[in-house]
């Protein structure tokens, strides 16, 4: 699976390495390549053999190094770590001298076009996510489970998304969304109609000793068949950073939230057959650890939460694909009357029709969706 991934998306993986990691993080933000590699090696020891083999397959197929693919899957965890009384660049410069990484043949990209040359800042799904919600039962028109993520600025282009269907020899088949080179995922659903969406929620309670949540959510998709088993996987794991994770069950249907940091977690059940989260914690203990962060902008997260809550409650009982897509577009500022634009439209959100095993990519184009894929028809 990893080798197929690397062969098919080799150019896109090299673009992410060059533009997001080396030009963006190292060149523009001043993040030490040495520190990123050191963190990646530490994280590698926590990953299962299966995931390490898949990373190696991607690297072989794309013609890049194992460390580069590992970095694509771990660098955001390092950037989420709190460094009290130090700017991250000061910390990095204290560990190693600043140097420019080698731009060798393994990361040289041909024919990437103007778009890739213009994008240098790292833009990942986790960095762009601003809100997530799940609605079901009395909240939706037919009682089925709908789960969605709306993306904040800067929005993603379709070329930055990886949509992958796994059919492992053991465990559940599942569909997940990430970026080229991803082995773990923030968004997905499996054949048991279990769905997950995750939002970063920074916390002072963080550690580099653990498994990045993206890999834990892949464990959930492959191994879990209901919400309790999914929550056990997350709660019992050695975690690294803070997250709000929405877990849905399309068969029952139901949805719950687990807020978690390295040592703390709290579970919330749905209220009125809907759950909504943005980038801050609601649990008092988790919020206390979060409030000690310097530069933490909790107010923006609360405003996004209130906007989502009001929009969903105004259509409570009438929510369906069309209504949810309209809400995502409204929150992005495009509205329901947005017109098609020349070229690719930005991705505004991701909508999981869990009961239908269907993923919809919500774009700025007028109409229901820019792209639809169904797990049970993906062969």
Model confidence over 321-350: pLDDT tens digits? 999 999 998 887 655 444 333 446 788 899
Verify that 81 and 194 share a domain, yes or no.
no
Domain boundary among 118, 147, 167: 118
Return mean pLDDT, the chain: 83
Verify that 76 and 169 share a domain, yes or no.
no
Verify that 150 and 250 share a domain, yes or no.
yes
Verify that 253 and 107 share a domain, yes or no.
no
Domain count, the chain: 2
Domain boundary among 88, 118, 148: 118
Verify that 245 and 157 share a domain, yes or no.
yes
Summarised one tens digit per residue, pLDDT across range 253-295 is 999 999 999 999 999 999 999 999 999 999 999 999 888 776 6
Domain boundary among 118, 133, 165: 118
Verify that 28 and 66 share a domain, yes or no.
yes
Q: Quote the percentage of the chain above a pLDDT of 70.
A: 79
Verify that 73 and 132 share a domain, yes or no.
no
Structural domain harbouring 344: 125-377
Report whether pLDDT(20) > 50: yes
Please classify residue 285 by burial: count the beta carbons closer than 10 Å to its beta carbon, then call 0-12 exposed, 13-18 middle and 19+ buried: middle
What angle separates helix 49-62 from helix 66-79, to the nearest 10 degrees? 120
Summarised one tens digit per residue, pLDDT across range 88-105 is 444 444 444 333 343 333
Mean pLDDT of 123-127: 44
Mean pLDDT of 58-64: 97
* pLDDT score of 122: 42
Q: Which H or E run includes 132?
A: strand 129-135
Listed in sequence order, the DSSP H helices in 267-351 are: 284-291, 298-314, 321-332
3-state SS assignment for residue 285: helix
Verify that 243 and 367 share a domain, yes or no.
yes
């Amino acid at each position: 699976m990893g080798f197929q991934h690397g062969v098919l998306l080799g150019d896109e993986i090299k673009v992410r390495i060059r533009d997001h990691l080396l030009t963006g993080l190292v060149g523009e933000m001043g993040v030490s390549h040495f520190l990123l590699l050191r963190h990646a090696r530490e994280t590698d020891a926590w990953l299962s053999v299966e995931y390490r083999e898949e990373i190696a397959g991607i690297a072989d197929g794309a013609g890049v190094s194992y460390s580069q693919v590992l970095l694509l899957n771990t660098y955001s965890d390092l950037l989420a770590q709190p460094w009290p009384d130090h700017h991250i660049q000061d910390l990095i410069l204290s560990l190693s001298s600043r140097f420019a990484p080698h731009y060798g043949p393994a990361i040289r990209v041909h024919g990437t076009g103007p778009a890739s040359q213009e994008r240098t800042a790292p833009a990942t799904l986790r960095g762009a996510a601003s809100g997530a919600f799940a609605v079901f039962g009395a909240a939706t028109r037919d009682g089925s489970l709908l789960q969605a993520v709306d993306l904040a600025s800067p929005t993603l282009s379709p070329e930055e998304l990886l949509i992958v269907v796994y059919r492992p020899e053991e465990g559940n088949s599942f569909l997940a969304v990430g970026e080229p080179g991803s082995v773990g995922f923030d968004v997905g659903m499996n054949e048991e109609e279990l769905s997950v969406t995750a939002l970063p929620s920074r916390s002072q309670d963080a550690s580099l000793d653990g498994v990045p949540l993206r890999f834990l959510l892949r464990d959930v998709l492959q191994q879990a068949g209901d919400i309790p088993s999914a929550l056990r996987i997350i709660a019992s794991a050695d975690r690294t950073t803070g997250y709000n994770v929405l877990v849905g069950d399309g068969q029952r249907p139901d949805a719950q939230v687990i807020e978690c940091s390295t040592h703390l977690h709290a579970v919330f059940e749905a209220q009125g057959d809907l759950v909504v989260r943005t980038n801050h914690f609601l649990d008092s203990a988790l919020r206390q650890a979060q409030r000690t962060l310097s530069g933490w902008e909790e107010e923006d997260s609360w405003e996004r939460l209130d906007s989502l809550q009001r929009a969903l409650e105004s259509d409570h009982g009438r929510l369906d694909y069309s209504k949810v897509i309209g809400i995502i577009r409204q929150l992005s500022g495009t509205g329901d009357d947005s017109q098609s634009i020349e070229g690719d439209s930005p991705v505004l959100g991701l909508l999981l029709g869990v009961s239908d095993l269907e993923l919809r990519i919500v774009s700025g184009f007028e109409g229901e969706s820019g792209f639809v894929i169904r797990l049970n028809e993906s062969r």
